[in-house]
A and B are shown apart, each in its own frame.
Chain A
């Protein structure tokens, strides 16, 4: 029934990739991802994981190598951050369009410049449209569970798509947390050996990655988009299976004290835990506030989200990246579009915070709440505000 251990989240991530019997790991070191791949290379060297570890010469090569190994039918894992994810950019689309079930842990980190090794979501927000399933972990246990789930979903013959599991750099990657690591037998029972729907096979040759002329390109892209949308049901199905096997329940959208909440914070990733404690404090002060956490970012769980925020008069959307030139962060922009399409009109206040590793405190969430209340009472549209900027 698993074992409860105190483990650095990066090492837990590597351990669970081992439990999942990855065949190939190709990676290039980049802070703060390094401990994940270093630990995997140790596991391979020690004989604890029967896999090929390929220390390639760049992230572009890492993702290219993953595409090759996945196309040949190997269970494939990689991990990167920030500039590394940006360097993978062109191959990320190819992994998705070739329907290759690669799993990648993204240790979220800000993009240059200025050069910063610290955490925010600017790396993954720039890769929003790569066609991958994308999930966000809030703590170490979620990293473990979402990684197992990622392989299960990615390789499901109804899905065949790559999955990116996002974990906040340093805030999660370098922190030791109490984690329940499942037993090998439990993982084996949940995640059987990878049976590729199609793979490169000399006995039955197929060609992958060839040119799509205008007569077929649109249909190919449509098929891809439909596959990603349809993965939603499979993602939920496998989370349900996970709850049964491992006893932990996951939903695409999580809610916290939203039942009678007039105002709801919307968060993604580890910052949500600080928000939660701010919500608790405000609740003690008699303020009807709640929280919605987006765990599944792609495919976006539209109905779950609408249900979660039903009844809220004000949404406070927290963005961890900028969308320069538009008065809203990327998450708020998407949610506003969604609300408009659904004919819902809660007041949307948008704050960008925690850029490049800047801490966001519980007190700052309370200030955001107060600012949002004032703005909502005035009825005037509120442009995105950056929190804690030194003047």
Chain B
């Protein structure tokens, strides 16, 4: 090593202990919002009382999917769309673990959409963080289930004809116990939301609206990351506890952010344990009078 290289100051990140520094530099483009979401996640983990050995991170395929390879915790980089089922298996085997799923909108809600709705329905105790950049960034910016109606992608060069999902409304409708959405410029509130989601029993969901200047921004003429961040931030209106169905992402009007759901509901394991203990009531609870069946008179 040359004297010059030795003299160069070693750049340190406040969360280096949570990073696999040997894997840095990472693959994310400059201006990408994943770094902010990742930083918030690490800040939330740093504040968390759970022993590090009991925290695991699962991701799928895509730009955000690479996160599992950079975090210095037990982590699993799964196949495309399957982060939630992998995480469910991990959670059921080590229920004491805090299992965090961190992945992108395409991975969690297109190819993996079915797993998302069923894990929320069962209320599996997972913390799901979705970095929503409105397109498939890694493969070059194709249409995603989050792409706004009319926005351009490489597979919809004239604009998307599809209505996008409202992920927060979907998660809430499926039974999630914690649902929040923040942009990548709401860093403190995002970190708080991830902390709350990690401490919440049940299926908790945090959506991060993140800039993808390289693919999404470029095709929609907002090429600079800061411009994209401002575009999202300036349209955002904080409306905590708003009915998730009304928490729209409307770029011509309001991009609603906030904590929309924070409720208690028995988790999948709570209910599963009831079955094992034989505490499940007969279905239907009101009972059926078999003798009355067929005896109702017409009219």
Chain B 146-176: CB-based contact to A (< 8 A → 1; otherwise 0): 0000000011111000100000000000000
Inter-chain contact A29/B156, CB cutoff 8 Å: no
Is A41 engaged at the interface, CB distance under 8 Å to the other chain? yes
**Band of interface residues on A:** 20 to 34
Inter-chain contact B139/A41, CB cutoff 8 Å: no
| Most B C-beta atoms less than 10 A away, residue of A31, A42, A58 | A58
- Nearest CB to that of A86 among chain B residues? B79
Q: Which residues of A contact B111 (CB under 8 A)?
A: 28, 57-59, 87
Chain A 24-63: CB-based contact to B (< 8 A → 1; otherwise 0): 0000111100100110011001100000010101110000
Inter-chain contact B142/A83, CB cutoff 8 Å: no
Q: Which residue of A53, A57, A115 is within 8 Å of B155 (Cβ)?
A: A53
Minimum distance in angstroms from B213 CB to a CB of chain A = 19
Inter-chain contact A38/B154, CB cutoff 8 Å: yes
- Nearest CB to that of A54 among chain B residues? B155
- Nearest CB to that of B81 among chain A residues? A58
B51-75 contacts to A (CB < 8 Å): 61
Inter-chain contact B142/A55, CB cutoff 8 Å: yes
Inter-chain contact A83/B79, CB cutoff 8 Å: yes
Given contacts A28-B111, A57-B113, A57-B145, contact A34 B156 (CB under 8 A): no
Q: Which residues of B contact A29 (CB under 8 A)?
A: 136, 139-140, 142, 155
Given contacts A29-B136, A55-B142, A58-B110, contact A37 B80 (CB under 8 A): no
Q: Which residue of B140, B145, B157, B158 is within 8 Å of A34 (Cβ)?
A: B140
Q: Which residues of B contact A249 (CB under 8 A)?
A: none
Inter-chain contact B157/A45, CB cutoff 8 Å: yes
Inter-chain contact B154/A41, CB cutoff 8 Å: yes
Inter-chain contact A112/B158, CB cutoff 8 Å: no
Distance in angstroms between the alpha carbons of A121 and B69 in the assembled complex = 26
B96-153 contacts to A (CB < 8 Å): 110-111, 113, 136, 138-140, 142-143, 145
**Band of interface residues on B:** 20 to 34
Minimum distance in angstroms from A13 CB to a CB of chain B = 16
Inter-chain contact B139/A30, CB cutoff 8 Å: yes
Is B77 engaged at the interface, CB distance under 8 Å to the other chain? yes
Q: Which residues of A contact B158 (CB under 8 A)?
A: 45
Q: Which residues of B contact A83 (CB under 8 A)?
A: 61, 79-80
Q: Is the interface of A mostly helix, strand, loop or mixed?
A: mixed
Inter-chain contact A115/B156, CB cutoff 8 Å: no
- Nearest CB to that of B162 among chain A residues? A55
Distance in angstroms between the alpha carbons of A31 and B111 in the assembled complex = 15
Distance in angstroms between the alpha carbons of A57 and B143 in the assembled complex = 9
Inter-chain contact B139/A34, CB cutoff 8 Å: yes
Given contacts A45-B156, A83-B80, A112-B79, contact A31 B113 (CB under 8 A): no
- Nearest CB to that of B147 among chain A residues? A55
- Nearest CB to that of A27 among chain B residues? B155
Inter-chain contact A41/B157, CB cutoff 8 Å: yes
Q: Which residues of A contact B157 (CB under 8 A)?
A: 41-42, 45-46
Minimum distance in angstroms from A26 CB to a CB of chain B = 11
Q: Which residues of B contact A55 (CB under 8 A)?
A: 142-143, 155-156, 162
Minimum distance in angstroms from A291 CB to a CB of chain B = 35
Q: Which residue of A41, A46, A87 is within 8 Å of B156 (Cβ)?
A: A41
Chain A 159-189: CB-based contact to B (< 8 A → 1; otherwise 0): 0000000000000000000000000000000
Distance in angstroms between the alpha carbons of A58 and B136 in the assembled complex = 12
A54-77 contacts to B (CB < 8 Å): 55, 57-59
Distance in angstroms between the alpha carbons of A57 and B145 in the assembled complex = 8
Inter-chain contact A37/B155, CB cutoff 8 Å: yes
| Most A C-beta atoms less than 10 A away, residue of B61, B154, B155, B158 | B155
Q: Which residues of A contact B79 (CB under 8 A)?
A: 83, 112
Supply 20 further A-B pairs (C-beta < 8 A) apart from A55-B156, A115-B77.
Answer: A28-B111, A29-B140, A30-B139, A31-B138, A31-B139, A34-B142, A38-B140, A38-B154, A41-B154, A41-B155, A41-B156, A41-B157, A45-B158, A55-B143, A57-B113, A57-B145, A58-B111, A59-B111, A112-B79, A115-B61
Q: Measuring CB to CB, which residues of chain A are less than 8 angstroms from any residue of chain B?
A: 28-31, 34, 37-38, 41-42, 45-46, 53, 55, 57-59, 83, 87, 112, 115
A-B contact pairs, 23 of them (CB 8 A): A29-B140, A30-B139, A31-B139, A34-B139, A34-B140, A37-B155, A41-B157, A45-B156, A45-B158, A46-B157, A53-B155, A55-B155, A55-B162, A57-B110, A57-B111, A57-B113, A57-B145, A58-B80, A58-B81, A58-B110, A83-B80, A87-B111, A112-B79
Top 4 A-B pairs ranked by shortest CB distance? A58-B111, A57-B110, A29-B139, A29-B142
